Amino acid sequence: MRAYVITEPGIGGVADVEPPSPAPDGVVVGVSKVGICGTDMEFFDGSMAYLHDGNARYPLRIGHEWVGRVLEVGVDVDPAYIGRRVTGDTMLGCGRCQRCTAGRAHVCAARYEIGVRGGWPGALAERLAVPVSALHAIPDSIDDIAAAMIEPAGNAWRALDGAGVVAGERLLILGPGTIGLLCAMFAHAVGVEVHLLGLEGRSLDFARTLGFDGVWTSDTLPSLAWHGVVDASNASHLPGLAIDLVEPGRRVALVGLAGSPSRVDSRGIALKDVTLVGVLGASAGLRPAIDAFASGTVDPGPLVSAIVSLEEATDVLSGGRLPGAGPGPKTLIDLKRRSRC
């Protein structure tokens, strides 16, 4: 089958690899569409932290935001799964340790992360092996474009949940990328007053078209009571700013990851009685994201700027703006599409 393989920093391409077989408790999915995210780009340029702490190594196959149909099932799986349209959890715990049995498989020390951690091959391929326990069915009301956005949406939902705001309160989101914008959409849908902070340019211009209550730069941000703050950026100084800005006694959710350590003053956290909430993975947010997409309360479609072939993945991972791409932050790879070249 065709799969995208990164062999070293800045070097990757489509290769013919052996197709997977289902584990006894697993399935093989025929992949339809895959989203490219910042983590994938960090694997491509070599900066991703897992490459430096031993949790990932080249060659590797990326892709953890996906949708497809079940083609094969393992011997212990109900054959009725064949043909089902699905996406799946990225975080695959061992299932035996105390964290897994307590419902925290996403932080299992021995976990795999599909296309990310531990060498589990990712979805940027024609077929993907997945445990049946990780699958989530996709209703017909969600098309493949939106379905490929469920994984980042799950992260965004968890970030909003972590920020602890309710209808009528005010939320500030730092970073108008895919997860920040999805978080803003979830918040807006439940009656939260939504504001975003970013750098002037294309991303912020796009955010202004989506109808949020305020879109600001650091120079224009008004002095308001922020009842919750979400850091969805990759800037190392913004967690500290989030703590400074949030109302005393409220919450800051940290879903973004910077390339260098973030320094925060614990005195500010303690003296303001602020709660910091870390968000790793979409696991608990996948079902709420599916429900919101299915009901139409959140529409991720405008965030997709381009849909391209597997052969064009290198151009996307290199950070280039593809010809004809729209203003949104997300590019999808269509595994059934062939290169225009």
Mean pLDDT of the chain: 96
Q: Calculate ∠ Cα 123-124-128, nearest 5°.
A: 35
Examine the domain organization and report whether 138 and 255 are in the same domain: no
Per the structure, the count of domains in the chain is 2
Half-sphere exposure of 215 (CA within 13 A, CB side): 20
Strands (DSSP E) contained in 10-55 are 11-16, 26-36
Residue 89 lies in a domain: yes
Tell me the helix, strand and coil percentages in the chain, rounded to 5.
30, 30, 45
Examine the domain organization and report whether 141 and 91 are in the same domain: yes
Examine the domain organization and report whether 209 and 306 are in the same domain: no
Residue 235 lies in a domain: yes
Q: Flag residues of the chain having pLDDT under 70.
A: 339-341
Examine the domain organization and report whether 322 and 269 are in the same domain: no
Closest CA to 312 of 124, 145, 143: 124
| Residue 331, both tokens | 């590019």
Domain that residue 251 falls in: 155-278
Q: Domain with 68 in it: what CATH number?
A: 3.90.180.10
Examine the domain organization and report whether 318 and 191 are in the same domain: no
> Is the separation of the CB atoms in 191 and 178 below 8 Å?
no
Examine the domain organization and report whether 6 and 142 are in the same domain: yes
Examine the domain organization and report whether 140 and 172 are in the same domain: no
Residue 289 lies in a domain: no
Q: Domain with 222 in it: what CATH number?
A: 3.40.50.720
pLDDT at res. 337? 85
> Is the separation of the CB atoms in 225 and 170 below 8 Å?
yes
Examine the domain organization and report whether 108 and 71 are in the same domain: yes
Residue 132 lies in a domain: yes
Residue 73 lies in a domain: yes
pLDDT tens-digit profile of 125-174? 999 999 999 999 999 999 999 999 999 999 999 999 999 999 999 999 99
Residue 291 lies in a domain: no
The percentage of residues in the chain with a pLDDT greater than 70, rounded to a whole number, is 99
**pTM exceeds 0.75 for this model:** yes
| Residue 269, both tokens | 């956290």
Strands 226-231 and 170-174: parallel
pLDDT at res. 341? 46
Examine the domain organization and report whether 54 and 162 are in the same domain: no
pLDDT tens-digit profile of 296-325? 999 999 999 999 999 999 999 998 778 889
Strands (DSSP E) contained in the chain are 2-8, 11-16, 26-36, 65-73, 85-88, 91-92, 112-113, 127-131, 135-137, 170-174, 193-197, 214-216, 226-231, 246-254, 275-278, 304-309, 330-334
Instruction: Say whether the peptide bond before residue 222 is cis (omega within 30 degrees of 0).
Output: no
